[in-house]
Amino acid sequence: MSNPLNIRRVRPEEYPSVGELVRAAYESEYLLESDYLDEIEDVAGRDSVSQVLVAEEGGKILGSVTIPHEGERLLSSSASDEMDVRLLGVSGGARGKGVGEALMRYVASVAQDRGLCRLVLHTGDQMVKAHRLYERLGFQQIPEREFTIETISGTRRIISYGLEIAS
């Protein structure tokens, strides 16, 4: 990345393009149900109940992630001292350039600023590249929170990860 990466809240006029970016990031890597892909693309709906963040460089949006508003949770399995994160997506041209890592480090700093102890997320068993990123950043699996779902490609294990936040 030649310009500094700026992480900020998505703007309403960016909802369609960010939705397309995140959907494409998931659709290009994984076989997912169309309903779930529609949910992924619904940035406006997600941003109305949570905070959709984007990473931009030189005015171009390269990635996105969703976090809850302070004091709220995205996942019912999250504890009150945890912040959960969903739908990390990076554009195809920006993959491998540190955008996903920068977004995850940013949300970890938000969790720390909120006085929370752990950042948590769920990911599909087929999302191996994402697992490598999370593990490189120090996330550890939380086996007791894992479960399976039925998808068009068969039964999938949903893996839970957590990152302890230093206070």
| pLDDT tens figures, 100-117 | 999 999 999 999 999 999
- Name the pLDDT band for 31 (thresholds 50, 70, 90): low
Could you read off the pLDDT of 109-151 as tens digits, one per residue? 999 999 999 999 999 888 888 899 999 999 999 999 988 988 7
Domains and CATH numbers, the chain: 5-164 (3.40.630.30)
Assess whether pLDDT exceeds 90 at residue 66: yes
Q: Which residues fall within 8 angstroms of residue 155, CB to CB, at 6 or more apart?
A: 148, 149
Q: What is the pLDDT of residue 1?
A: 47
- For residues 63 and 54, the answer to whether their CB atoms sit within 8 Å is yes
- Name the pLDDT band for 60 (thresholds 50, 70, 90): very high
- Selected residue with higher pLDDT from 26 and 2: 26
Written as six digits, the tokens of 8 are 């900020």
Q: Which residue has the tokens 């109940």?
A: 49
User: For the chain, what is the total number of helices (H) and then of strands (E)?
Assistant: 5, 9
Q: How does 87-108 read in b/e, with b if 16+ C-beta sit within 10 Å?
A: bbbbbeebbebbbbebbbebbb
**What is the Cα–Cα distance from 56 to 18, expressed in whole angstroms?**
11
Mean pLDDT, residues 3-30 taken together? 90
> In the predicted model, what is the mean pLDDT of the chain?
91
- For residues 84 and 120, the answer to whether their CB atoms sit within 8 Å is yes
